[in-house]
Amino acid sequence: MRKFLLVVATVCGCSLFGLSPTMADVRIGILAKNGPAKVLKKWELTGDYLTGKLGEPVKIIPLDFDKVTPAVVAGDVDFFLVNSSMFVTLQLKYGATPVATMINSRQGKALQSFGGVVITSAYNDKINSFEDLKGKKFAAVKKNSFGGWQMAYKEMTAKGIDPFTDFSSLLFLGKHDNVVFAVQNEDVDAGTVRTDTLERMVANGAVSMEEFKVIEAKKEGDFPFVCSTQLYPEWPLAKVAATGAFLSARVVAALKELKADDKAAKAAKIVGWTDPLDYSGVEALQQSLHLGAYAR
All domains in the chain, ordered by first residue: 4-103+235-277 (3.40.190.10), 113-214 (3.40.190.10)
Give me the pLDDT at residue 90, please. Answer: 96
- For 118-133, what is each residue's pLDDT tens digit? 999 999 999 999 999 9
* Mean pLDDT, rounded, for 11-23: 39
Q: Are 35 and 11 within 8 A, CB to CB?
A: yes
Residue 80: predicted pLDDT = 92
Residue 62, beta-bridge partner list:
8
Query: pLDDT exceeding 70 applies to what percent of the chain?
Result: 89
- Report the pLDDT value the prediction gives residue 163, as an integer from 0 to 100: 97
Q: Give the Cα separation of 14 and 30 in Å (integer).
A: 12
63 pLDDT band, cuts 50/70/90, is low
Flag whether pLDDT at 82 surpasses 50: yes
- pLDDT of 160-206, one tens digit each? 999 999 999 999 999 999 999 999 999 999 999 999 999 999 999 99
Q: Where are the alpha helices (DSSP H) in 60-144?
A: 68-74, 84-94
Q: How far is CA 243 from the centre of its chain?
A: 23
Out of 10-19, 65-74, 239-248, which region has the weakest mean confidence (pLDDT)?
10-19
User: What is the per-residue pLDDT for 61?
Assistant: 61
**pLDDT at position 60, please?**
66
Instruction: List the one residue out of 101, 5, 73, 102 whose CA is nearest residue 240.
Output: 73
Q: How many angstroms separate the CA atoms of 194 and 176, rounded?
A: 7
Average pLDDT, the chain: 88
pLDDT at 8: 45
Q: In percent, how much of the chain has pLDDT > 90?
A: 68
Between CA 140 and CA 123 the distance in angstroms is 20
| Cβ pair 119, 196 in contact under 8 A | no
pTM value > 0.85: yes
20 pairs with which residues across the strands?
Answer: none
> Percentages helix, strand, coil for the chain, rounded to the nearest 5?
40, 25, 35
> How far, in Å, CA of 178 to CA of 193, rounded?
10
Residue 12: pLDDT band (50, 70, 90) is: very low
Residue 291's pLDDT is what?
A: 97
CA dihedral 44, 48, 51, 57 (to 10 degrees): 60
| Residue 235 DSSP code | P
Is the pLDDT reported for residue 47 higher than 50? yes
Q: What is the mean pLDDT of residues 242-259?
A: 91
Sheet holding 137-140, edge to edge: 169-172, 137-140, 190-194, 116-121, 212-214
